[in-house]
């Protein structure tokens, strides 16, 4: 098999050009799903695809499929892709790298005049980030059958505008049915969004799967009182009770038998007045772990902590699970192919689990799936400072090219 090359400069320049759409003063990108900026990015991608000879179709959720035909058009295609929408102050590489790496695979095959047996398709999934419309991974979740098209299209942003309306507004309400079809394999290249690869001096992360996630809403109810007249011993301070809960919950992750992370990212204090003892505090918990049994143990421990603190502080607590995503394990054949390719190319690599959710996690429910991670500087992501090395991006793309070519043979 002829060794193929990635055009590192072309791949990098594509990132720079795409990042101009929605660029922020801090060097990042703000390109929220289904806005005019998202439309512009999609149209640029389609223009590049057509220039590379790809046939483009759009489904009812606005997911874009750009197809490079194979010798046998009846064979299931090999897919790759990611998303083009960003966080409000996001970076240039989250999502975009997976899309542009897929495009570079096609360009490299074209440069070498190589025809694969199976078709190859590059996918842009709609609204992965979930900034405007609650939930995230909206396009791929319909594709994978996790929610209905009607449910997704009816989802509204804070201004009351639905996904269905915005798809029409930007011209991406496609006619293709949004449902899964036979796929040989799906591969997604992505920046790690964490510090492990950089710390370990590895170029390629062989992703075995993604952590499970359980999210909770905790409502602590006490009693309002005057900040100056009520003695400390007689208070039913909802915030202080919540603060004690959060401190103890934080330690649960440190003592988990399987590495886990817990985040309390949202806190609402009521009545939120300087001179009134808080009568109610609501906070969120995001717990993640690659082992589902350990994730259950964490939930039990956190629930117990909240109940015990509430009793000691003479307040009431409601501990509610609001979402659950089980851990994802990617396809063994896909994982082995990525690992073997990195080894053959003498690229420093290691096995790794994803701490974040990705489109690939949803595709894995309907098709063999693998992911390739490359380092990002200081592990920073969802941030204007998000950065990656051009050579690392090219190395990850080279692995992607090799495994896709093998699966399409």
Query: Residues of the chain with pLDDT > 90: what percent?
Result: 96
Mean pLDDT for 136-152 is 95
354 located within any domain = yes
82-99 pLDDT tens trace: 999 999 999 999 999 999
200 located within any domain = yes
CATH of residue 27: 3.40.630.10
Residues 67 and 57 sit within 8 Å (Cβ to Cβ): yes
Please give the structure tokens belonging to residue 326.
């089980």
361-394 pLDDT tens trace: 999 999 999 999 999 999 999 999 999 999 999 9
Query: Residues of the chain with pLDDT > 70: what percent?
Result: 100
193 located within any domain = yes
Mean pLDDT for 107-118 is 97
Residues contacting residue 117 through CB under 8 Å, at least 6 positions apart: 70, 71, 72, 75, 408, 409
Q: For residue 135, what pLDDT is reported? A: 76
Residues 230 and 370 in one domain: no
20 located within any domain = yes
Rounded CA-CA distance 250/207 in Å is 27
Please give the structure tokens belonging to residue 194.
């964490």
Residues 56 and 64 sit within 8 Å (Cβ to Cβ): yes
285-312 pLDDT tens trace: 999 999 999 999 999 999 999 999 999 9
Higher-pLDDT residue of 168 and 136 is 168
Q: For residue 3, what pLDDT is reported? A: 81
Residues 334 and 267 in one domain: no
> Which range marks the domain in which residue 62 is found?
8-211+327-407
In angstroms, the first-to-last Cα distance of the chain is 10
Mean pLDDT for 191-205 is 97
Q: Are strands 369-374 and 204-210 parallel, antiparallel or unpaired?
A: antiparallel
Residues 31 and 174 in one domain: yes
Average pLDDT, the chain: 97
CATH of residue 254: 3.30.70.360
Q: For residue 161, what pLDDT is reported? A: 97
Residues contacting residue 165 through CB under 8 Å, at least 6 positions apart: none
Please give the structure tokens belonging to residue 317.
């607590």
Domain count, the chain: 2
Burial 348-364 (b: 16+ CB within 10 A, else e): ebbebbbbbbbbbbbbb
Residues 218 and 286 sit within 8 Å (Cβ to Cβ): no
Residues 54 and 126 in one domain: yes
CA distances (Å), origin 188, targets 35, 183, 272, 345: 24, 14, 44, 19
Residues 228 and 276 in one domain: yes
> Beta partners for 90?
29
3 located within any domain = no
214-271 pLDDT tens trace: 999 999 999 999 999 999 999 999 999 999 999 999 999 999 999 999 999 999 999 9
47 located within any domain = yes
Mean pLDDT for 3-21 is 96
Band of the pLDDT at 144, cuts 50, 70, 90? very high
Q: Of the candidates 316, 310, 321, 311, which has an alpha carbon nearest to the alpha carbon of residue 243?
A: 310
Rounded CA-CA distance 93/96 in Å is 5
In this predicted structure, the answer to whether residue 325 has a pLDDT above a threshold of 90 is no
20-50 pLDDT tens trace: 999 999 999 999 999 999 999 999 999 999 9
Given 325, 340, 367, which residue is the final one in a domain? 325
Residues 292 and 387 in one domain: no
Residues 264 and 242 in one domain: yes
Mean pLDDT for 307-321 is 98
Q: Of the candidates 138, 165, 166, 140, which has an alpha carbon nearest to the alpha carbon of residue 152?
A: 138
Residues 186 and 233 in one domain: no
CA distances (Å), origin 40, targets 43, 128, 171, 271: 5, 17, 11, 43
Residues 240 and 268 in one domain: yes
Q: For residue 337, what pLDDT is reported? A: 98
Residues 371 and 359 in one domain: yes
pTM for the full predicted model: 0.88
2 located within any domain = no
Rounded CA-CA distance 107/397 in Å is 12
Q: For residue 38, what pLDDT is reported? A: 98
138-141: long-range contacts, CB 8 A cutoff, minimum separation 24:
138/33, 138/61, 138/163, 139/61, 139/62, 139/63, 139/178, 139/359, 140/63, 140/359, 140/362, 140/363, 141/362
Given 308, 325, 342, which residue is the final one in a domain? 325
Residues 331 and 356 in one domain: yes
Residues 53 and 156 in one domain: yes
293 located within any domain = yes
Q: For residue 312, what pLDDT is reported? A: 98
Residues 52 and 107 sit within 8 Å (Cβ to Cβ): yes
Given 270, 299, 325, which residue is the final one in a domain? 325
């Amino acid at each position: 098999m002829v060794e193929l090359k990635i055009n590192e400069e072309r791949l990098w320049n594509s990132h720079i050009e795409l990042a101009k759409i929605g660029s922020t003063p801090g060097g990042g990108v703000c390109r929220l799903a289904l806005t005019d900026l998202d439309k512009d990015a999609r149209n640029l991608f389609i223009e590049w695809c057509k220039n590379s000879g790809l046939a483009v179709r759009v489904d009812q959720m606005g997911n874009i499929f750009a197809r490079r035909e194979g010798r046998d058009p009846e064979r299931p295609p090999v897919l790759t892709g990611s998303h083009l929408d960003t966080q409000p102050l996001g970076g240039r590489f989250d999502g975009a790298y997976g899309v542009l790496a897929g495009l570079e695979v096609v360009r490299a095959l074209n440069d070498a005049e190589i025809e694969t047996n199976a078709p190859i398709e590059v996918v842009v999934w709609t609204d992965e980030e979930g900034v405007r419309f609650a939930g995230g991974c909206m396009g791929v979740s319909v594709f994978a059958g996790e929610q209905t098209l009607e449910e997704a299209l009816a989802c509204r942003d804070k201004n009351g505008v639905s996904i269905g309306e915005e798809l029409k507004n930007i011209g991406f309400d496609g006619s293709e049915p949004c449902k899964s079809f036979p796929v040989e394999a799906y591969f997604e290249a992505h920046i790690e969004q964490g510090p492990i690869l950089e710390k370990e001096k590895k170029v390629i992360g062989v992703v075995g799967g993604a952590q499970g996630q359980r999210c909770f809403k905790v409502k602590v109810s006490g009693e309002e009182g005057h900040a100056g007249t009520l003695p400390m011993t007689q208070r039913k301070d909802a915030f202080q009770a919540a603060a004690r809960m959060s401190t103890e919950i934080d330690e649960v992750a440190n003592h988990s038998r399987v590495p886990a992370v817990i985040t309390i990212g949202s806190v609402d204090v009521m009545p939120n007045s300087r001179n009134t003892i808080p009568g109610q505090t609501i906070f969120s918990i995001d717990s993640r772990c690659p082992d589902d049994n350990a994730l259950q143990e964490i939930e039990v421990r956190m629930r117990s902590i909240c109940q015990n603190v509430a009793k000691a502080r003479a307040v009431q607590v409601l501990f509610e699970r609001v979402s659950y995503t089980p851990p994802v394990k990617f396809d063994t054949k896909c994982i082995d192919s990525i690992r073997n390719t990195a080894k053959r190319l003498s690229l420093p690599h290691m096995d790794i689990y994803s701490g974040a959710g990705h489109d690939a996690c949803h595709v894995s429910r309907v098709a063999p799936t693998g992911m390739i991670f490359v380092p990002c500087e200081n592990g920073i992501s969802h941030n204007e400072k998000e950065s990656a090395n051009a050579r690392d991006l090219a190395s990850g793309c080279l692995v992607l090219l090799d495994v896709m070519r093998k699966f399409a043979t």
